[in-house]
Structure 1
Amino acid sequence: MPVADIADTVRASRFIGAVLKRHPQWAEKKAYAQPRAAGELEAELKLLLGDEADEARVMRELRGLRDREMGRIGYRELAGLAQLDETLGDLSTLAEVCCAAALDHAMRTLCLRYGQPRDAQGARATPVILGMGKLGGRELNFSSDIDLICCHTASGETDGSHALDNSEFFKRVVQMVTKLIAERTEHGFVFRVDLMLRPFGSAGPVSIASDAAEDYYQQHGREWERYALIKARPVAGDIKAGNELLQRLRPFVYRRYLDFNAIGSLRSLKKLIADDVARRRQDDNVKLGRGGIREVEFIVQSFQLVRGGQEPRLRDPRLRPVLRYLAEAGHLPEPTAKKLDEHYVFLRRLENAIQIYADEQTHSLPLADEPRAALCLALNFDGWPALVQRFTEVREDVHHEFARVFAEPGHEDPEQDLAALIERLWAESPDLSVEQSALEPLAREDFGDAAADICKRLRDLRDARGTRTLSQTSQDRLRALLPLLLAETLQESEPATAATRVLGVLQAIGGRSTYLTLLRESAIARGHLVRLCAASPWVSQLLSTNPALLDQLLDARTLYAPPDKAEIRAELDHVFSQITDDETEAGMDALRRYRLETTLRIAAADVAGSLPLVQVSDRLTWLAEAVLQVAFDRAYAELRASYGVPLRRDGQVAGLAAIGYGKFGGIELGYGSDLDLVFVHDCDAPDQETEGGRRPIGGDVFMVRWAQRVIHWLQTLTPAGRAYEVDLELRPSGRSGLTVSSIEAFAQYQRREAWTWEHQALTRARTVAGSASLGERFEAIRREVLSAARDPDKLRQDIIDMRARMRASLDKSTATNWDIKQGEGGLIDLEFITQYLLLREAPGKPELLRWSDNWRQLEDLVSAGVLAETDRDTLIAAYRSLRAWSHARGLQQQPVLAPAEAFAEQRAQVREIWKRVGLASE
């Protein structure tokens, strides 16, 4: 029997006791005993909020409603007045009603400010909130997060006097909704909100247009996202549009054929969860532990993923109806399905009782006597041993069925053979016969012709100085680790390649036993290491030369979700908030470590396919800008401490700015790119000494030392390597020019002395760090110089001549290979077309000079009527495909030489446009 009265309820739940203390008028049992009618909660909240509620009132009323409803739902659960489905459904309804109210308030507030969001045809764009996980399945537990994916129906902009792009508008809507629901106030919070399941995770927009969402899942969707979308359900906003979107995503989630590969994906995911639980010592976790709720979910969802494309009734986001159908359809024996359902009910009631006790987000059995006694009272057990015995029996039953469903038929554990191999190879001075016999299991396990090489690498690892200096315990740990890693490589499409690269990383780690322990203890880290090594030798080399990066492999959410521009700045600010200005060495090391860690995160998302090439370049460029700005600030602080500050004639502090050229200026940085920089300053009193320092120096000397110090911060080799290589070749007068020049001298040089090729380079230049006002002056000079009238015939011939000289000295094309960068019809030709048209047309069309990247420059050339739309589309398509191929080759550490016949169509198209714009030699 359940708890009998209010007093028992309070003993079973401190939370309900606190609610009753806050609201003594509810102490009557009748007030808590009644179920809610359909729509009642929504109507009550609408009455509480009215039509004109401000943000503070909305937050207060939502939290008050949450307090009352959680108390009512918790009481009915503990008193046995509600079945499990009603409890979970009531919790889900509460979340839906609160989401809808918060969304209504956010839309009303922001529409008054910015107007209605509309699509290109003027139709209204609407928000959609998809509930994921337990909210999507109407199975929310008592203290659950709510997992949301937020979308909007169309791109466009608002129609108000302060118009916003729809993406920005709906971003603000989601931010306001999240604040209304999740922010803690003196009245508490409503629900914790998790947006990490959205496309591209933290790297993606918080609200995405429906068409873009569909494109994402078709092009970049991963197996775990199929699993997540099983539970998706519209819970607020435009419900009809949400259902239409899910209908469009159905082919991604549910394959038309029987998809048995899904079982392997779920098996791997469960293994990662289980290993993480073990690492955190959470064996008594009701949700994630052995035989817990997650294993029941995985059993059901394996059938959904495998057969859902053919059996519509498997597409229900609710677990229990699907479990009943599995018995009806004969996929599970009826007694098994019934027992799993009973166990699921017990585990969910146990989870709720654990959380109802103190309204805490925990899934583990309590350790203290008081909450244990409360749990026994809530679930009507005579004592703790009886409850634990029932819990143990349930877990064993569930895990037995889980192991049966996810067993690998006919599979012999490869680790056993591989472990035996390692032991034979590790024996003292093995003779040739032992080595030969050692090859057999490797060949059988699909290493094929590479087996002998892998054996040699294993032997080299055994004999390496770093290995021999390890303690016996660490050597034992290494021997235990190797079969685990090699077994992981067998899951890759090219096991031998993966194994070779992983062993290379281990060889580089050497005697660092800490990392051997990390890989031995964490299946998550092992899995990520193998997957990244299999995908890219460049990433393998990065890990080999920087073993500390292995720590990043522990968390998939951060590893595969690199930060955006604002997050990079915030993270770096946090890193340097702990380092004083005089800790130069520590600062340099921290800067390099952050750059390496973030680069790995970008590369991991890149090779996993979750980050398009353009966003890879964006993030690498944002990272370089942030690192450069830190170098600027730290270098300035060091100089100021010694010399004071340089002043201009007007008494204001003089500034320095860095101008990015080439790939940096064009927002196209790759993984190994140098930074092409030009430094300019606005110190117009070069002989005036600095003020406020111990050792005054001339303003011009200060500026030179500032630029030199910035370069020192970037290029100095420390134990963490270099931050970036810096190339100053594009400064005025090239190698013979000064490291830094005044902005006026730079302007005069560009006006009077610069060659045409230097103006070409200027088309891709932009301010990347330093003084904002100086950056504005540079942009004005750039516009002035590039829009100056020029002889069209001379311009054309200069461009042709420069391209011919470059091809003669740099083009690596041969009869069998084509250089996609310097070869005819390649990337440089494409960029020269854009630069030529900009320089030719800018005198009459200065609006062409807004951007420094090739893509948007081509867009502006079309808008200005200079370039046909078809030519733009052709050039952008060619640019995209050539850059993507070049980028992929870089990740594989291969030269950018394609077969001679490759990209024939794109090359011909670029050559044709080259001729059509007038660049063909006469």
Structure 2
Amino acid sequence: MNLQDNLPETLREPASRAWAAILEAAGPTEAPALEGLLERSGFAQQLATVLAGSRYVGETLRRRPWLLVQLATAGHLEAPLREGALEAELAELLARSDDDPGVVLRRFRQRHMLRIIWRDLNRLAPTLETTRDVSWLADACISLGLERCMAELEAKYGQPRGQRSGEAQELIVVAMGKLGAHELNLSSDIDLIFTYPESGSTEGARRSVSNEEFFTRVGRALIALLDPVTAEGFVFRVDMRLRPYGESGALVQSFAALEAYYQEQGRDWERYALIKARPVTGSLRHRRELLQCLQPFVYRRYVDYSAIESLRSMKQLIVAEVRRRGLQGNVKLGSGGIREIEFIAQCFQLIRGGRDVSLQRRELCAVLAECASLGCLPESVVQELQVAYLFLRDGEHAIQAWEDRQTQELPTDPIAQAALAHCMGFGDYDAFSEALAGHRDAVARHFAALIAEDENSTPAPESADLWSADCDPQQLADLGFSDAAGHARRLCALFDSRRIQCLQAEGRERLDRFMPLLLEACAESEHPDLALERSLPLVSAVARRSAYLLLLIENPPALADLAALCGASPWIAEQLATRPALLDELLDRASLYTAPEREALQSELRQQTARLTVDDLEGHMDALRYFKASQVLRVAASELSGRLPLMKVSDKLSFIAEVCLEQVLALAWAQLALRYGEPAREGTGSGFVVLAYGKLGGIELSYASDLDLVFIFDAKKGGYTDGDRSIDNATFYMRLGQKMIHILETRMGLGQLYEIDMRLRPSGDSGMLVSTLSAFEQYQRNEAWTWEHQAFVRARPVAGDEVLAQKVEALRRNILCQARDVGTLGEEVVTMREKMRSHAKVRREDAEMDLKQGFGGIVDIEFVVQYAVLAWASQEPSLADWSDNVRILEALADSGYLPKEQCRALIQAYLELRSVTHQLALQQQPPKLPAKQFATERSTVQLVWESLFAEVTAAGTPEADGTDGAGGKAVPTEAETTFRSDHHNKE
């Protein structure tokens, strides 16, 4: 054999000896075929590399030389395999062979390990293809080996059945670690856990045993098939120590036993292990059921910074083990090795995986990419880690390919070192070592930056003394607090409270570390006294959930933002105290002070609900509530920081509500469709639309606004759903509306999603919850009062069927553009306005102005706009284009029906008044200020009002006595209109 010049001198002689031994073993009948392979382009060079780099391949071919001819002739050395090919090949071999299944499996492994090593050492396969192929090989051996074991034991004991369900049971083999992530190395053992769905016993044979005993026998048989070393070698070394209770625990447990163990006794390292858990046998339904029951243990719903402490503890143990065993040369466990890269990825998975579903992945490189996408790590760091990981894995493979040994230790033998360097593409071992050191240094540096103890975690002595039963007011004053005595009393009361004194040791230690840091953060904020006073209820709320304290300890910028936001707004402080999960949002300052656009909101909500099944209603409701609360917090933080003007604040809050409504409608529809099927309708849309009135309809939502909604559907009259439990269309849509209201209004841990008001539907509380389009149109044309058409000015479809939404919008324009008697219209508008003032007890001479209901306030401007649309849209249809007041006023200015100067003045007054009400809402203050403060704005509004309604006011308006002044229909009470004073005060 011509060894080519590509081999270093050190490796030529060993490779030549290996080839000679293979030819000698092949004998005169097979040697010519082997030698003929050398004529193929590049084959001799590839063969030389493999024989120089792997004694295992040389020994395997010496014993079975025909394997090389088979693989080369079939083209398996050049091309990757498709998924499922290995399992199909092994199934055929087992079916047609009379040999013992263990022999078949071992020879099958030899054949494909030869193929995998050949492609890996010659760089014909990328790193992740190699790890995937080895994992596929293990999957095939496990699944088909299990089939044989099950068949033999079922013949003896019968088929296992569930005691509760009566269904046939199966053994679910869960792959852990690298096999679970399809990242198995060339000579890895396989970490497995055995489980089965349900307790019960076997049926159908003379001797019945419990499911536990049956599957224990199956598990032992599978291990005995795969693990032992025989004359043919082994299949895969099996490690069962990751199961509950380790080596002392039962070999097999039911789903219920597994779930109970992890909930009650699961340890942090087991969370790390289960990140990569992947069932490789069993039905799809049982695999999903198993993963669903493990999910809450692995991924916490909140951002879990306790993972950092756990990681530090685990790393300390590993460092000690490395030193004790002298593993500094280990590319997996040594400093800057593979394990540290895995820890970095898994740390972010455990910290944020419960919130960021995209992190709930098994493949390390994919997780690192998500870390960059989510901003957990800089893109440059992720690139360094990914390059280092692939380099280290290639090195690991080259080390293991040498003798098929499970080791990650760098070789000390000169020939093995030369083989490693050559397979890694280096001219000598020194060059390889230098490159390896560079990668390991980078990994170690990034790992240390992630888990290093924060220098701010040790409080300054002066602040540490303040958190005690004898807090010194003078020390607080020295820190910059004005109300030092008051704060000292509050701190002492909290310190001595039963809630704090009953904390367990770990929680108390974290609180004692946290409080001095909080005091310093508040002292450095713009409003120290307010920040501290408003932060203490939050401390009391989270004291027993100390992971939140750890989150803030580990993130000084988040703690500084907490103090700043609490000092700026009691509303935000209250939101954080009642919903501590929102503290997660403080971790990313860029997103905290950036309110997303509508498309980004839709994408984020989809991601947060992607892991949830349709039937997990509670999970969806929790996710929706967190999504809404976190996004509203971002808007508030952005407004307080001056990054969002008023119009944008309302836009963002309206977008959040719209996206939530879209998701609620989709969820309610999916749940009902599962039960009843879908209603008969034309087209592909839902035939259902959510029509928003009031603040949401006008794109002017505030922080505490409820939602005024009307539900409309348009489907075949007399039609039915197409499910097994069929119901008529009208009933389906009524239940759809009810389901939506339930999802929106049910109080949970994070409160309601939104409070819903449906009283603007046709006939109010006495009307149908969901109206047909034709009934809604008939009501608007023939029965609706003027105040209902006023409300219609600020209505728009916000979720549902686009075709139906267009029909509703066309109806709205048609109604608003009807010709009306302007005199009668003016009387009715003024009558309603006087009634509202009477209900709110507002008078012209009040020293304080009610910014909403007062004379010249927000509602006066809204009534002017609504009157203008109803009075003049028949001549100027553009007035009906918009549902928000500002754009309607701009259209009025363009139309000439109101002077441009007046319209601009009204817009300015409206924005200023609304801006102040927003600010007061964040300070939890009522919308009232000294009347003289807005004298100019009030005067502007009242002048326009008087110019429009002078004749009506002069003639007098009907008394607000509940009639229309002529014995006609009763004027709607305050509670029946969209202009309810309680509604406006809330906002």
Q: What TM bracket, shorter-length normalisation?
A: 0.5 to 0.7
Match of 1:773 in 2: 803
Match of 2:872 in 1: 841
Q: Which runs of 5+ in 1 are unaligned?
A: 1-275, 286-350, 363-367, 393-402, 404-412, 426-433
Equivalent positions of 1:491-890 (< 5 A) are 491-648=524-681, 655-685=687-717, 687-688=718-719, 690-812=720-842, 815-890=846-921
Instruction: Give the number of equivalent residue pairs.
Output: 551
SS in 2 for 1:741: strand
1:417 and 2:462 equivalent? Answer: yes
Letter in 1 for 2:461: Q
> How big is the shift at 1:416?
2.6
> How big is the shift at 1:470?
1.9
- Aligned counterparts of 2:383 and 2:782: Cα–Cα separation in 1: 77
> How big is the shift at 1:382?
15
Letter in 2 for 1:472: A
SS in 2 for 1:543: helix
Query: Which structure has the bigger radius of gyration?
Result: 2
Letter in 2 for 1:542: Q
Contact between 1:415 and 1:487, CA under 8 Å: does it hold in 2?
Answer: no
Match of 2:481 in 1: 447
Identical aligned residues as a percent: 39
> CA, structure 1 residues 894+354, in 2 after alignment: closer, same or farther (shift >3 Å)?
closer
SS in 1 for 2:465: helix
> How big is the shift at 1:572?
1.4
> CA, structure 1 residues 771+414, in 2 after alignment: closer, same or farther (shift >3 Å)?
same
> How big is the shift at 1:918?
3.5
> CA, structure 1 residues 817+701, in 2 after alignment: closer, same or farther (shift >3 Å)?
same
> How big is the shift at 1:355?
12
> CA, structure 1 residues 839+472, in 2 after alignment: closer, same or farther (shift >3 Å)?
same
Letter in 1 for 2:703: Y
1:907 and 2:952 equivalent? Answer: no
- Aligned counterparts of 1:672 and 1:652: Cα–Cα separation in 2: 35
Contact between 1:492 and 1:531, CA under 8 Å: does it hold in 2?
Answer: yes
- The one of 922, 929, 950 equivalent to 1:898 is 929
SS in 1 for 2:932: coil
Equivalent positions of 1:95-244 (< 5 A) are none
- Aligned counterparts of 2:699 and 2:907: Cα–Cα separation in 1: 15
Deviation by residue 1:287-315 (Cα, 9 ceiling, x = unmatched)? xxxxxxxxxxxxxxxxxxxxxxxxxxxxx
Contact between 1:469 and 1:511, CA under 8 Å: does it hold in 2?
Answer: no
- Aligned counterparts of 2:929 and 2:678: Cα–Cα separation in 1: 53
Scaled by the length of structure 1, the TM-score of the pair is 0.55
Match of 2:67 in 1: none
> How big is the shift at 1:867?
2.0
Letter in 1 for 2:739: R
> How big is the shift at 1:900?
2.2
Deviation by residue 1:23-51 (Cα, 9 ceiling, x = unmatched)? xxxxxxxxxxxxxxxxxxxxxxxxxxxxx
Contact between 2:690 and 2:712, CA under 8 Å: does it hold in 1?
Answer: yes
Letter in 2 for 1:533: C
> CA, structure 1 residues 358+513, in 2 after alignment: closer, same or farther (shift >3 Å)?
closer
Contact between 1:820 and 1:898, CA under 8 Å: does it hold in 2?
Answer: yes
- Aligned counterparts of 2:765 and 2:558: Cα–Cα separation in 1: 46
> How big is the shift at 1:569?
0.8
- Aligned counterparts of 2:751 and 2:731: Cα–Cα separation in 1: 29
- Aligned counterparts of 1:668 and 1:280: Cα–Cα separation in 2: 47
> How big is the shift at 1:709?
0.7
Contact between 1:811 and 1:823, CA under 8 Å: does it hold in 2?
Answer: no
Letter in 2 for 1:709: K
SS in 1 for 2:605: helix
SS in 2 for 1:767: strand
> CA, structure 1 residues 897+812, in 2 after alignment: closer, same or farther (shift >3 Å)?
farther
Deviation by residue 1:548-597 (Cα, 9 ceiling, x = unmatched)? 11111111112112211000111112222221211111111111111112
Q: Does 876-885 or 859-868 show the bigger shift?
A: 859-868
> How big is the shift at 1:354?
11
Q: Does 473-482 or 747-756 show the bigger shift?
A: 473-482
SS in 1 for 2:525: coil
Deviation by residue 1:314-342 (Cα, 9 ceiling, x = unmatched)? xxxxxxxxxxxxxxxxxxxxxxxxxxxxx
SS in 1 for 2:526: coil
- Aligned counterparts of 1:855 and 1:726: Cα–Cα separation in 2: 25
> How big is the shift at 1:278?
12
> CA, structure 1 residues 356+756, in 2 after alignment: closer, same or farther (shift >3 Å)?
closer
Contact between 1:647 and 1:654, CA under 8 Å: does it hold in 2?
Answer: no
Letter in 1 for 2:811: I
Equivalent positions of 1:289-308 (< 5 A) are none
SS in 2 for 1:421: coil
Deviation by residue 1:607-662 (Cα, 9 ceiling, x = unmatched)? 222122211111111111111111111111111122222224x6987621111000
Contact between 2:459 and 2:513, CA under 8 Å: does it hold in 1?
Answer: no
SS in 2 for 1:447: coil
Letter in 2 for 1:442: L
Contact between 2:646 and 2:915, CA under 8 Å: does it hold in 1?
Answer: yes
Contact between 1:592 and 1:723, CA under 8 Å: does it hold in 2?
Answer: yes
> CA, structure 1 residues 758+361, in 2 after alignment: closer, same or farther (shift >3 Å)?
farther
Contact between 1:645 and 1:691, CA under 8 Å: does it hold in 2?
Answer: yes
> CA, structure 1 residues 480+577, in 2 after alignment: closer, same or farther (shift >3 Å)?
closer
> CA, structure 1 residues 627+611, in 2 after alignment: closer, same or farther (shift >3 Å)?
same
Contact between 1:470 and 1:513, CA under 8 Å: does it hold in 2?
Answer: no
Equivalent positions of 1:337-416 (< 5 A) are 415-416=460-461
> How big is the shift at 1:695?
1.9
Scaled by the length of structure 2, the TM-score of the pair is 0.51
- Aligned counterparts of 2:684 and 2:742: Cα–Cα separation in 1: 27
> How big is the shift at 1:522?
1.6
Contact between 2:664 and 2:744, CA under 8 Å: does it hold in 1?
Answer: yes
> How big is the shift at 1:796?
0.8
> CA, structure 1 residues 617+361, in 2 after alignment: closer, same or farther (shift >3 Å)?
farther
Q: Which runs of 5+ in 2 are unaligned?
A: 1-306, 316-334, 337-377, 390-394, 396-409, 411-420, 446-454, 955-987
Contact between 1:477 and 1:517, CA under 8 Å: does it hold in 2?
Answer: yes
Letter in 2 for 1:865: G
> How big is the shift at 1:453?
2.2
Letter in 2 for 1:454: H
Letter in 2 for 1:893: Q
- Aligned counterparts of 1:865 and 1:663: Cα–Cα separation in 2: 27
